Amino acid sequence: MEQRRIALLGNPNTGKSTVFNRLTGLQQHTGNWSGKTVGQAVGTVLYGDKTAKLYDLPGIYSLFAERAEECCAKQFLCFGKADTVLVVADATNLERNLPLVLQVAALQEHTLLCLNLTDEAEKKGIYVDRKRLEERLGIPVIEAAARAGKGIGKIKESLFEGHTHSRGKTEFSQLWQDCPQTLAYLTEGCEALLGKARTTPFCLTMVLEEDPAFFGGLAQEEGWDTYRLMELSARAEGARKLLEAEGSDLRTFQEKKTIFFLQMAENITRETVQIKQEKEDLTERLDRAVLSKGFGILLMLALLGGIFWLTAVGANYPSALLRVFFDQVGEGLGDVLSVLPPSLYSLCMDGIFLTVSWVVSVMLPPMLIFFPLFTLLEDFGLLPRIAFQADGVFRKAGANGKQALTMCMGFGCNAVGVTACRIIASPTQRLIAMLTNCFVPCNGRFGLLILLCTVFLSNGSSVGAGFCLLALVASAVGMTLAVSFLLHRLLGGQEDSGFILELPPYRRPQIAAVIVRSVLDRTVFVLMRAVAVAVPAGIFIWLMQRVHVQGVSLMQLLVNFLDPLGALMGMSGAILAAFLLGMPANEIVLPILLMYYSQSGVLTETQTTAELANILTLQGWTFSTALCTALFSLNHFPCATTLLTIWKESKSKFFTAVAFCLPTAVGILLCIVIHALFGAG
Amino acid sequence: MELQTLEKARLGGQYRIKRITERRLQELGLCEDAQITVLYECPFGGMRVYRIKSTRIAFRNRQAEKIWVQEVAG
């Protein structure tokens, strides 16, 4: 027997992904804001000895819009890919959800409604008459509170054993009342071309509008040739002419259609929903502070600043512990590998193992702190509000507020920031956000920046260093905006393409789930990519030190080669070489530099800041060197992990190359100018 | 009361939608005759939060220009 196929559909923020996870047991990332489900998640639902495939479709409000998400969902439903559609609706806001439910019920033969978030609705004093709703819609309705796992069993039961499924009672045909001739003409044509079973009011609408998703689907899924498609197009055109003859036109028809569903939703809501107490809810009260102009901004900056500070400070301890752990592992591994010839042993231990363990121990702890905290904000519902507050500034750069969010994630890790750019709908704006993400320093660069601020750029006081760091971060944000603005002009984006954000109610974050998700989705993902690049990089760095040409090591050759450029930029060949070799992870730039300075041949760290200051001063570092190094750290090629991510996300070698060259060029120019201005002194 | 476009509506004011030509927002439930409240504006302007029924939606003034409203007294 063929496996049943179930499609999961619903508005954004209805807990659709939570329902998906509960039904399949698969941990898919859920978020308290729209635009999260990108691509298509598929899971398996088990019920006794039966199984079914569950397809998570993107969160949408209507089947009639023409964005990629809606088209994807519509095609999936139209071309029989699903036996049953499970629509998830938010019980606290039923009216908003009903148009989609009604549309699906009109299109699909087997529809099931999951009325989710009933626990929240109850808290707000909102009661939905399930029985009455079932009658009005003509489809089964199941109450659920997916976060608590309530109702999931019933949904399964209904999915596998329900025999009552039938097409919903959406009286779509009313829409055609004023244009009987058009309807007759279109029906005749569709019955001939599409077959009788397909000729439903919903389908007729799509033909009349020459819906690109529907026509595209006919070609892709059912192999229609151009001739057949043109025949259907001709019918549609004829029908539109008739429509005009009957005193209407396509625009009016579409508007009527939208209003038809909205009105039906309103009527049904009036009959089925009772609001027992209307009190000002928490969301309203919180929003008054969070969305206010002055205090709201301060609050958000303080929150984000607090997270960065906790990450930078808090990561030191687990990092040190990890180093101790890896030292022990290294000793054990060394014993085992001691059977190898000395050079191979050194390659494995000093090259691969040291680099990989270094990257893991400096990268893992900050990510383990940053991402769970950030995900908590996301779960709470704060991210769309941050996007709103930032939109005014980002609009001026041709971007939108969502880029503020991807930028914030870039502070944690640029590779994650680049992946997060998926939330930006416009392809041009998304590309710009990806290309500019590495202009903000990730955790890996903060270590070096803090050091430079403390030792060289401030007068030694921690307050001074703090202000220095703040100035650097502000300049990074400014640079992001400036480059975004220029790219926007260059790529010819529209002036103001419009931007819609839904602000969901605040919800209590699910702390345990947050930790699991952020670790699985973000941390492990980045770490695996980082290790993948650290292995070859470890070998490379090792070879650079050991291979000599005419008595000079490759490393020294590279340093000599880069020296003129380094001098021009107010740094040195050694610093530039460290940045280049630090490609696998920004965290190892400083250790590589120290390795070179001390000629130790392995990645090196020093115990105290004072020692470090001493070494660097001995190597001729001045205020100007530190300033140029800090600026180049902010503005240079992204790390290998980020580049790999940009390549995977943009699927374009060209733009990956741009992502490499653009910040590098900015950094080189900036350093040359700064050095020319301040370097002489 | 006279008609005006939504981006000119005052903060805190309650309005009734009279005409709307922005499809995307129509799909989100902003239809003729619906009530809409202007709640907040972002720093540097250009985008505002509105309440429609019991949801909060933010969109740009560029989009609000395509919505004609009339102030509701009281």
Tell if the CB–CB gap between B29 and A99 is shorter than 8 Å.
Answer: yes
Give A669's contacts (C-beta < 8 A, 6+ positions apart).
Answer: none
Q: What is the pLDDT of residue A275?
A: 83
Measured between beta carbons, which residues in chain B are less than 8 angstroms from residue A258? 23, 26-27, 31
Q: Which residues of A touch B (CB under 8 A)?
A: 61-62, 64-65, 92-93, 95-96, 99, 254-255, 258-259, 262-263, 283, 287, 291-293, 297, 384, 388-393, 395-396, 401, 496, 498-503
CATH topology of domain B3-71: SH3 type barrels. (2.30.30)
Q: pLDDT per residue over A346-359, tens digit each?
A: 888 888 898 888 88
Per-residue pLDDT, averaged over B14-28, amounts to: 87
pLDDT of residue A636: 95
CA distance A207 to chain B (A): 19
CB contact under 8 A, B43 and A297: yes
- pLDDT value of residue A170: 63
Tell the residue number behind the tokens 């494995």, with chain if given. A348
The residue that leads in pLDDT, A17 or A269, is: A269
CA dihedral A243, A244, A249, A250 (to 10 degrees): 50
Chain A CB within 8 Å of residue B18 CB: no
Residue A389 scores a pLDDT above 90: yes
User: Which are the contacts of A310, defined by CB distance < 8 A and separation ≥ 6?
Assistant: A369, A373
**pLDDT at residue A278 in the model:** 60
DSSP A165-194: -------GGGGGTT-HHHHHHHHHHHHHHH
> Residue A340 gets which letter from DSSP?
S
The CATH homologous superfamily to which domain A4-161 belongs is P-loop containing nucleotide triphosphate hydrolases (3.40.50.300)
Q: Decide if pLDDT at A80 tops 80.
A: no
What lies within 8 Å, CB to CB, of B46 at 6+ separation is: A391, A392, A395, A496, B60, B61, B62
Instruction: Give the DSSP H or E segment for A44.
Output: strand A41-47
Q: What DSSP state is assigned to residue A39?
A: S
Which is more confident, A672 or A35?
A672
Q: Which of A66-80, A510-524, A640-654 has the largest mean confidence?
A: A640-654
Say if residue A29's pLDDT is above 70.
Answer: no
B58: contact with A, CB 8 A cutoff: yes
Q: Is the pLDDT of residue A495 over 80?
A: no
Q: State whether B28 and A396 contact (CB < 8 Å).
A: no
Distance from CA of B1 to the nearest CA of A (A): 24
pLDDT digits (tens, 9 = 90+) for A83-107: 889 999 999 889 989 999 999 988 8
Residue in chain A lying closest to B12 (CA): A288
Q: Is the model more confident about A479 or about A72?
A: A479
Nearest CB to A392; choose among B31, B45, B57: B45
Kindly report the average pLDDT of chain A as a whole number: 87
* Cα nearest neighbour of B11 on chain A: A292
Burial classification of residue A627, based on how many CB atoms lie within 10 Å of its CB (0-12 exposed, 13-18 middle, 19 or more buried): buried
Identify the sign of the CA torsion A559, A561, A563, A566: negative
Residue A661 has pLDDT above 90, yes or no: yes
Say what the pLDDT of residue A28 is: 54
Q: pLDDT at position A580, please? A: 94
- Please indicate if any CB of chain A lies within 8 Å of the CB of B65: no
Window from A69-73, A74-78, A301-305, A558-562 with minimum mean pLDDT = A69-73
Lowest model confidence (mean pLDDT) among A31-45, A323-337, A567-581: A31-45
How much of chain A, in percent, has pLDDT values that exceed 70?
Answer: 94
Q: Give the pLDDT of residue A515.
A: 81
- B4 falls in which pLDDT band (50, 70, 90)? very high
- Which of the four pLDDT bands, split at 50, 70 and 90, describes residue A34? very low
Is A93 close to B53, i.e. CB distance below 8 A? yes
Q: CB A258 to CB B27 under 8 A? A: yes
- The residue behind tokens 């908003």 is A96
Mean pLDDT, chain B, integer = 90
Segments making up each domain of chain B, as ranges: 3-71
pLDDT interval class at A197 (50, 70, 90): confident
Q: B47 and A93 in contact by Cβ < 8 A?
A: no
pLDDT at position A363 over 70:
yes
How far, in whole angstroms, is CA A46 from its chain's centroid?
29
Q: Evaluate if residue A36 carries a pLDDT over 50.
A: no
Per residue in A209-244, pLDDT (tens digit) is 888 888 888 888 888 888 989 999 999 999 999 989
What band does A655 get if pLDDT is binned at 50, 70 and 90?
very high
**What is the Cα–Cα distance from A157 to A140, expressed in whole angstroms?**
12
pLDDT attached to residue A508: 83
Give the residue from A216, A220, A245 showing the smallest Cα distance to A232: A216
Distance from CA of B2 to the nearest CA of A (A): 24
pLDDT at residue A37, rounded to an integer: 42
B23:A498 CB<8 A: no
C-alpha–C-alpha distance, residues A204 and A16, integer Å:
29
Q: What is the pLDDT of residues A585-610, one digit of tens each?
A: 888 898 889 888 888 777 777 667 88
Place of tokens 């002009």: A489
- Across the interface, of B31, B40, B59, the residue whose CB is closest to A291 is B40
B31 touches chain A (CB under 8 A): yes
- Residue A279 clears pLDDT 90, i.e. is over it: no
d(CA A484, CA A394): 9
Whether B40 and A292 have beta carbons less than 8 Å apart is answered as: yes
Distance between terminal CA atoms of chain B? 13
Verify whether the Cβ–Cβ distance B59 to A501 is below 8 Å. Answer: yes
State pLDDT tens for residues A114-159.
999 999 888 888 899 999 999 888 889 999 998 888 999 999 988 8
CA gap A457, A449 in Å, rounded: 10
Mean pLDDT of all residues in B2-30: 89
Whether residue A2 is predicted with pLDDT greater than 80 in this model: the reply is no
CB contacts, 8 Å: B55 with chain A: 93, 96, 502-503
**pLDDT at residue number A38:** 45
Of B39, B47, B55, the CB nearest to A93: B55
Structure tokens at A83: 């036996």
Positive or negative, the CA dihedral A462, A466, A467, A468 is positive
Extract the tokens encoding B53. 């029924």
The pLDDT assigned to A24 comes to 84
* pLDDT cut 90: percent of chain A above it: 35
